[in-house]
Each structure stands twice: as structure tokens, then as C-alpha cells.
Chain A
Amino acid sequence: MVGNILRAAAAPSVPPAPAIEPAQRLISIEGIARRYRQKHTGEVTVFEDLWLGIDQGEFVCIIGHSGCGKTTVLNILAGLDRPDEGVVIVDGREVDGPSLDRAVIFQGHALLPWLTVLGNVAYAVAARNRSWSKAKVREHARRFIELVGLSGAERKRPAELSGGMKQRVGIARALAIEPKTMLMDEPFSALDALTRGTLQDEVRRICLTTDQTVMMITHDVDEAIYLADKIVLMTNGPGARIAEVVRNTLPRERDRNQMHRLPGYYAIRNHLMDFLVSRSATFGDELAAGRAWSARSVPVVEPGREDAARQPPRGRQPLEPKQLAPR
């Protein structure tokens, strides 16, 4: 309801031109909405009027509370689900179904349990390269199994693997088809902290070296700061929207364990935490209070840059001043 009024008011006055060169743009989400008809409550709008651009080589994280529609957005990007309104343009063409150009790493690892590790990866490789011989397919699959550090486990079945190993197979399977885009749905959320850290390092290394375009859903604020170039903040559903896009101003060469010493880290972290803890629920009030905002060109904020210039964002003190002291 509020969204409709806002959209009607904002759409004509906002210039649609994005700040980034259009040539770089790989994915463009244009005004998508998803609604479910339910027996008792009538029509429920999960989200509506979502606009977002993703550039070639960019690593984008979406954070938001459970149930706000993150998986649905990812499925629409993958072509597994369809929006009720709006379109998604990838590489200049409207998405109308799944494509080998967009690999998906599913929330549950989604390995085929009757196939071995090699079988699972080879299944994807053979689907991508239909003319390849069996030997060539296996050879290629082995290379990617090695890349995620699973050499020696090729003959194991998913049931014999730990959670982290299963997720690695999922990553190998996605990488092995050499997609233009990787879509990851909370790939590490089921893992213990240590395994998660190692896999984050690997994913980051692989994505940086291959200039992979990635969209990843996560719950974990530190994971988002470590991996993402751009963090998309989604408000709570129903009727979720993209409130802001946070540009990550940390240097590209960052180390997971030293990251908290970088100038701007706490400002970004606090901004994200602040959003998740309160603003994701009260964003509607912010708009009602007259905040300038448009669904079509969502504000891009850089809390890290402000902090680096010794200007704590919106008058807040960093949560952990002790660790900030050495700077």
C-alpha cells in the first residue's frame, strides 16, 4: 500500500540513469514483485518493486531476515521461479528459464545422493559440454574437485561426507560449468565457524582470480563484509524492499583475520548490524518520516568511507572502541 503510493510519487521524478557504465552491467533486476495467493489471508506480497543492478565481476551479498524473500529473488534470477511483475535482464536478455550461464549453489547442498562426488560434478560438466567424451568430462570434473581441495574423495558418496565437504562439492559443481554468474543461497550457513572461514577464503580466492560475478545470500554480517563489493539490505517481509545498498570501501586485498583492523570496518559492520537489529523492521517509519528514497534508484551508502574520515556514521560510537584504539 505504502509502496504503491511511494512508487507513484517517486517514479516520475527520479532519473533512471545508473551511475555506472551500462556496458559493465551484467544483471539488471527491474521492478520485480512476487505474490502468493493464500486461502485465508488473501494475497501476500513477499516483495515488490525491487530494482538492482549487478556489474560484471562484482560480488554482491544480500542480507535480510529470514522469510523476507531472499531465496525467492535468487530463484527468479536463476530462472527457477518467475516474478509476478517486472523482469530480470541478464546479458541484455530477459530471463525466461534456467541457464547454464547462471550456476546455483543451493541452500541445502542439493547433491544427488546416488552419485559419487565425481559423478555429481561430472553430471554438471557433461550437461555443459554435451559433445565431450566421458574421459574428458571426468578429467575436467577432477580439476574442479582438486580446486576445492577434495582430491581423494572422488569416489565417496555425499552421505559419507561432512557438511563442509558436501558444500565444497556443490561449489565445484557450480564452478565446473564455468558460468558467467554464480548464485549462492546461504552456502555456508550450516557449517561450523572454522570450515566456514576456510570456504570463504577459497570462494574469495576463486572469484577474484576468475573475475566471477556472484550474488550471494547470507545471514552473516562478517561474511558479507569479507566477501562482498556491494551489500544489499532487504527489509522484513511481507512487502519487503531493498532499503539501501552498502558499498564496501575496504581495500580489495583484505584478510579475514585482520579485516577488523581496517579503517571503516566497524562503521560498515555497525551500519549492517543496526539495519538488521532495528531498521529492517522500522524502515517504513523512516519513509513515513519523509526520508528521500526511491525503489528505482536505491541509495548507495558508504559508511566505511565516512568512518575512515573520522566521522562516525549518524553520531554513533563504534561498538568496540578498544580494538579501534591502535589506529
Chain B
Amino acid sequence: MGWSDRGRALLLSALVLGVFLAAWHLATRGTGGAEGLDPAYAALMGAQVTEGASAMPGPLDVAAELWRHVTDPFYDAGPNDKGIGIQLAYSIGRVLLGYGMAVIVAIPLGFLIGMSPLVSRALDPFIQIMKPISPLAWMPLALYTIRDSNASAVFVIFICAVWPMLVNTAFGVATVRREWLNVARTLEIPAWKRALTVVLPAAAPTILTGMRISIGIAWLVIVAAEMLVGGTGIGYFVWNEWNNLSIVNVIVAILFIGVVGMVLDQLLAAAARLVTFPE
């Protein structure tokens, strides 16, 4: 029963994909080439129509380009022409760096906020104001103070990743069941050890939820940040291909962004499953 359910879902997925690709193919077939048109009329309509590359590409064009990128992801032919693998590596590197820094700051600070009602109340107004700020609004300030585009992008990732983790850690720590803490207290377990052996495992599922939200936001933001700072990264790649009017490459990049985002999310989902306990 379970298998046949899964099988049917898979079949339906394939069907949706097939219908989408077919519709896409049919819709773009006319615009893809301009063979059928009178050249004079085509010239009137503007250069794009006659240049197949600048018109909306069909699935076959994208597949061919995708294959080219997959088979040669790491070529490097100068600053404006690097393989998509290299660009993704830059983006992932920045995300991991900013995200790692956010983990280092947010989890201990979240612990402190969650454990101390005083600290919680004192920091709450700051968190409430900082949380809704679009991370990109920090960009000019970061560029001005750090004076390095790469570090600024990392900073923007840090600032957008820190809030969900901070808030979730504080919430998870503050809501640890009182009786579990009392168990440790009656066993005369010192406070620091209580934090590690009771609070941390009890709050871990909530903390991991925050970390998962953060990695998702960080991956959303890096594309936009790299469009602003330029130079390298998948965001820059998208912007650069748009300037080259290579819609095929833009679509390929979108696919890669989606796949990498999904992998990052699934990694954290797996980590969350490891620390989740049934009650």
C-alpha cells in the first residue's frame, strides 16, 4: 500500500513535469527561431526576434546548456566567464561563513536570553527592532564600514541568519519543562552541567528549527547580495547573464539555486531528526 501510494505520487510528479515541459516547448517554439518570418518584417520587429539566443528559450535549449554546465562546472576563463560550479562554490562559501558566525553568536546569546528573564527583557526591544530589517538594507553600511565587498556579503548573511536562530534558541531554552530541570536540581547537578545535559538536549529541536529557517533565508539573501556586490557568486552569475541577455543561462542558474537550497534545507532537516525526541 505504501509503495503504491509513493509510486502514484511519483507518477503524478512525472506527469506534471511532462505537461509543464510540453507546454513550455510549444509556447516557445514559435519565438525560438524566426525562420518562417519575412526578414524585412523581422528587422522591423527588432533584432531580438531574429537572434534565437535572446528570445525566450525552450526546454531543449535549456537542457543543452544545462548539460554543458554539468559536464564542465569548474572552468575559469577570466572574471566574467567562470563555470557555474565555481560560482556556486563562492556563494556556498559565503553562506557557510556568515551562517557559521551567526551560529556562534546566536546560540550562546540565545541561551543567555532564554535562561535569564532579566537579559531577555533588556534585549527584547533591540531584537524586535533589528529582526524585521531587510538584510540588504545593511549593505551600504557594511560596504562603507568594512570596505570589502566580499566581507560585506558575508556580513549580510550573518545578520539575516542570526535572528531566527537567536529567537528560537531563546524560546527553546526558556520553555524547557520545569520538571526536567527539577530532576537535575534534585540530583545536585551544577548549573553549567544542567545547561549541557538537560537544557541543550531539551531545546535542541527548537534550536534546529531556527537553524533550518536561517539557512533558508541565508540562501535567499545571498543571491540578492551578490547581485549588488558583484564579482563572483551565483547571484553575480545571474545578473551577468541577464546583462548578456542569455536567458538560457539565467534559467539554468535558477535551477541550480533551487537544487542547492533544497540540499541545504534537507541537511538541516536530517540534523533536526537526529536531535528530535518523541515525548
Contacts and interface: CB of A to CB of B under 8 A. Distances in A.
Contact of B186 (A78, A112, A114, A157): A78
Contacts of A157: 277-278
B180 A127 contact: no
B180 A112 contact: yes
Contact of B278 (A106, A128, A159): A159
B182 A110 contact: yes
Nearest to B201: A114
Interface stretch (A19-27, A95-103, A256-264): A95-103
B279 A159 contact: yes
B111 to A, nearest CB: 17
B186 A104 contact: yes
B259 interface: no
B188 A98 contact: yes
Interface string A121-132: 001100110000
Contacts of A102: 186
Contact of A124 (B177, B179, B187, B277): B187
A250 interface: no
A114 B208 CA distance: 15
Given A113-B277, A114-B277, A159-B279, A128 B180 contact: no
A123 B180 contact: no
Given A157-B277, A159-B277, A159-B279, A112 B187 contact: no
A280 B185 CA distance: 33
A177 B279 contact: no
A114 B182 contact: no
A132 to B, nearest CB: 14
Contacts of A80: 182, 185-186
A129 to B, nearest CB: 11
A284 interface: no
Contacts of B197: 123
A108 interface: yes
Interface in B228-244: none
B277 to A, nearest CB: 4
A110 B187 contact: no
Residue of B179, B184, B187, B188 with most chain A CB atoms under a 10 A cut-off: B187
Contacts of A159: 277-279
Interface residues of A, number: 24
Interface in B72-126: none
Interface in B150-200: 177, 179-180, 182-189, 197-198
A110 B278 contact: no
B181 to A, nearest CB: 9
Contacts of B275: 114
Contacts of B189: 127
A159 B279 CA distance: 5
Contacts of A100: 186-188
B218 interface: no
A104 B198 contact: no
A289 B260 CA distance: 81
A204 to B, nearest CB: 23
Contacts of A123: 187, 197
Interface in A159-217: 159, 177
Contacts of B179: 106, 108, 110
A104 to B, nearest CB: 5
A114 B196 CA distance: 13
A106 B183 contact: yes
Interface in A140-167: 157-159
B202 interface: yes
Contacts of A78: 182, 186
Nearest to A173: B183
Residue of A80, A99, A112 with most chain B CB atoms under a 10 A cut-off: A112
Nearest to B180: A112
B182 A104 contact: yes
Contacts of A113: 277-279
Contact of B183 (A97, A110, A128, A158): A110
B187 A177 contact: yes
Contacts of A97: 185
Nearest to A99: B188
Contacts of B185: 79-80, 97-98
Contact of B182 (A106, A124, A158): A106
Contact of A127 (B177, B187, B278): B187
Nearest to A183: B186
Given A106-B179, A110-B179, A112-B180, A98 B186 contact: yes
A128 B186 contact: no
A263 B47 CA distance: 111
Interface string A66-105: 0000000000001110000000000000000111101110
B56 to A, nearest CB: 53
Interface of A: 78-80, 97-100, 102-104, 106, 108, 110, 112-114, 123-124, 127-128, 157-159, 177
Pairs A-B, 8 closest by C-beta atoms: A127-B187, A159-B278, A114-B277, A110-B179, A98-B186, A114-B201, A113-B277, A98-B185
25 contacts: A80-B185, A80-B186, A98-B188, A99-B188, A100-B186, A100-B187, A100-B188, A104-B186, A106-B182, A106-B183, A110-B180, A110-B182, A112-B198, A112-B202, A113-B278, A114-B201, A114-B202, A114-B277, A124-B187, A127-B184, A127-B187, A127-B189, A157-B277, A157-B278, A177-B187
Given A112-B198, A124-B187, A157-B278, 7 more contacts: A79-B185, A100-B188, A104-B186, A110-B179, A114-B275, A127-B184, A128-B187
